[in-house]
Structure 1
Amino acid sequence: MLGQRLLPWDYGVRNLFRRPTRSALTFGGLSIVVLLVLVVVGFIRGLEKSLSATGNPNVALVYALSSAADIENSSIAAQTPGLVSASVEGIRERNGVAYVSPELYLGTRMQTAQSETPGMGLVRGVTTAAPLVRDRVQLVEGNWPAAGEVMVGRLAYSKLGVPEEDTAVGQMIEFDGRQWSISGRFAAAGSAFESEVWAPLADLQTALKRQDLSLVAVSMESPAQIADVDLFCRERVDLELKAVGEADYYASLQKHYRPVRLLGWIVVGLVAGSGVFAGLNTMYGAVVGRIRELATLQAMGFRRRAILLTLIQEATILACGGALVACLLGLLLVDGLAVRFTMGAFMLRVDSVGIAIACGVAVLLGVVGALPPAAKAMRLPVVEAIKAI
């Protein structure tokens, strides 16, 4: 019997083209909602990836005990690298060179030659031992900085809030009362280092009139040997040092930024919820204009369940189509977009997780947005609905 069957699949599809204006507006609105969800998820995923990519499980960070977890406020003696090298076993070596990197790290005002106002940047004073310990850092353009020069991470421009061309090789950058020439640009596999400016340690100490260090990064043969560095710091109480694995340090930062990530997921929920309500309004308008059509289908013998499934089909097709467009725009316009943050800068990531969440939200918008108005229309008596204008 006719009442035992569902409506043909192409009936719902053809209905979308019978009302092209309404369908196009609904399609555009759903695409915007899904794109907003994709942007927020991309922010969360980019932040997580930046922090997880920065920590090396074989590297120990030695810094001042009094600075707690804020390395920028750390100040340790200049002879600390030599003491660590001489006292701790298991440090990686190559050709007699220990993988020990003395570093001076701070946030300071920086200004490029083209910018009108300075921005807050991150500078790290390093020696040629830094690439041995920071093995993900790769020079992608130019040369290692000599005296009076710096090299910049590929996201340093975003942290400073300037156009990317302002940090090109050969440009000038000013901080701490000195002009520095940019000698090179580097990448670091998406880690937080990419938002930093690296200067020769001796030059930076001279500019700052400081002889101390912020930290010492030590590369060990295995993660288990980081405990030996920690033991050295505990034994030398006179130095007031603390040692922590770099991976553990940035994992703690992830916990620190957990409220930000939680807020991001709340925003995802709010955007999805607003999209559901927008879908409800749109579907109510669409269903009200089709009451006679739906009643006629019931008079022909189609069950309300079959008609309800057709309405859900139409809404879900629109939502999934909007999700495909939103994901395409996300991959083209959002993925890899650099954003500033307190820890530096990172790239938005549109990955498989973000796409899966966006598509899930789209299906939710289609199904949940169609159910209430369709159910309301189905409750009207057939005779009364056929007489409706």
Structure 2
Amino acid sequence: MLLPWEYGVRNLARRPLRTALTLVALATVVMLVFVVVGFIRGLEQSLAVSGDPDVVLVYSVNSEENIENSSIAARTPALLTASVSGTVKRFGITHVSPELYMGTRVTNDNDVEGLGLVRGVTANAPLVRRSVKLIEGRWPGNGEIMVGRLAAAKMGSDDAALAIGKQLVFEGQPWTISGKFAAGGAAYESEIWCRLNDFQTATQRQDLSLAALLLSPGKSPAEVSLFCKERTDLELRALSETEYYASLQQHYKPVRMLAWLVVLLVSAAGVFAGLNMMYGAVAGRIREIATLQAIGYRRRAILVSLIQEGVLLAAAGSLLSGVIALTLLNGVAVRFTMGAFALRIDSVAILVGCGVGLLLGVLGALPPALKALRGSVAISLKAV
């Protein structure tokens, strides 16, 4: 026969200070798990939504995964449109976006300097970068820029410093912010966009970093790749945008593995902290446990009751941490080497966080409960 369910609940209320301290400790451990898993999920989501399967990137073969180091001839987009037939063309406009992309030091009006990612584009860019949406202001004119909604996080600045009408200084000249854009969580959201010719003049460069082509439905990037292989003098490489960001997923795989290792270490630390607190809680209840055995309750029933108390505390701590994570952490911008992305507390993060919390409740209560139940009933009844 098991002990009544309310017996374990009343035991938690009998020691409010110990219960509160244990609850805070468990909630803190679970919160750390939410932060790390939210980081992993945010990074994965940002890379997953950045790629467009119909877009092909053409860049220098020597740059590998780092497009910032790419340099191709300014005539490359014209050669591509003349040689590749699968590119979308509407109303006489070929959907090709020549771009100059680089990281540079950016200073805002408050003299706060940070590393920003700047992309020089033409008016064709929205035709190819279909996820980009202007959410405030207007498209930049001469000497103007528009900023992604996570550009402030990438620079380590506040959003107010990147409001419309404010100025940023990079590459030795001031730029006025004319608009703000979003891209559905894609990597572009941490970038600063300006006119290509203005950016080339400021950087004293006439080359490009890449050319992005929007292919017609059903067309394969193979034709673009074949052109790049035939024109060995141009030293070009063609890769679909989804494949490019998939390669970044592999590039950041060690980082994600390290983050999962942190989750494991935090969980292990939480188990040991739970063991320490539960040993203290059970040590003061030796006579109570022995009395329950003396009046006829089996050890298995008492063990279940003690585990119930640990699971109740862990569930409460997980629920508290989950509410805080969803309200305060979800969507918080985080700086990273590739730019910036938002922490993502999604169903996977909730499942992992709450699962770790419940596991802490079971593993934290089980060893001390087993140790207390191994003792002799007669000796335990005399315990002080």
Give the TM-score normalised by the residue count of structure 1: 0.98
The residue number in structure 2 matching 1:208 is 203
Alignment of 1:65 onto 2:61: yes
Alignment of 1:16 onto 2:38: no
The residue number in structure 2 matching 1:86 is 82
Correspondent of 1:130 among 125, 141, 147: 125
Pairwise CA RMSD of aligned residues? 0.8
CA contact (8 A) 1:295 1:385 kept: yes
Distance (Å, rounded) in 2 between the aligned partners of 1:249 and 1:95 = 29
Q: Which amino acid aligns with 1:253?
A: L
Trace 1:21-32 onto structure 2 (pairs within 5 A). 21-32=17-28
Give the TM-score normalised by the residue count of structure 2: 0.99
Trace 1:33-48 onto structure 2 (pairs within 5 A). 33-48=29-44
Distance (Å, rounded) in 2 between the aligned partners of 1:385 and 1:283 = 18
Distance (Å, rounded) in 2 between the aligned partners of 1:70 and 1:19 = 58
Distance (Å, rounded) in 1 between the aligned partners of 2:55 and 2:271 = 47
How far apart are residue 262 of structure 1 and its match?
0.3
How far apart are residue 94 of structure 1 and its match?
1.9
Correspondent of 1:363 among 346, 358, 365: 358
CA contact (8 A) 1:46 1:346 kept: yes
The residue number in structure 1 matching 2:331 is 336
Alignment of 1:194 onto 2:189: yes
Q: Which amino acid aligns with 1:385?
A: S
> Identity rate of aligned residues, in percent?
60
Q: Which amino acid aligns with 1:89?
A: S
The residue number in structure 2 matching 1:348 is 343
CA contact (8 A) 1:57 1:223 kept: no
The residue number in structure 1 matching 2:377 is 382
Distance (Å, rounded) in 1 between the aligned partners of 2:309 and 2:18 = 12
Trace 1:1-389 onto structure 2 (pairs within 5 A). 5-116=1-112, 118-222=113-217, 224-389=219-384
Give CA deviations for 1:35-85 in whole Å, capped at 9, x if unaligned.
100000000000001111111111100011122222111111111111111
CA contact (8 A) 2:46 2:341 kept: yes
Distance (Å, rounded) in 2 between the aligned partners of 1:260 and 1:186 = 28
How far apart are residue 124 of structure 1 and its match?
0.2
CA contact (8 A) 2:86 2:219 kept: no
Structure 1 SS opposite 2:56: strand
Distance (Å, rounded) in 2 between the aligned partners of 1:84 and 1:60 = 11
Give CA deviations for 1:281-306 in whole Å, capped at 9, x if unaligned.
01000000000000000000000000
Give CA deviations for 1:13-55 in whole Å, capped at 9, x if unaligned.
1111011110011011100100100000000000001111111
Moved over 3 A (4+): none
Give CA deviations for 1:186-222 in whole Å, capped at 9, x if unaligned.
0001011000000100100011111110000001113
Give CA deviations for 1:343-373 in whole Å, capped at 9, x if unaligned.
0000000000000001110111010100100
Distance (Å, rounded) in 1 between the aligned partners of 2:6 and 2:268 = 29
Give CA deviations for 1:166-204 in whole Å, capped at 9, x if unaligned.
011110000000000000000001011000000100100
Task: Quickly say closer, same or farther: Cα 1:15–1:151, change in 2 above 3 A.
Answer: same
CA contact (8 A) 1:59 1:223 kept: no
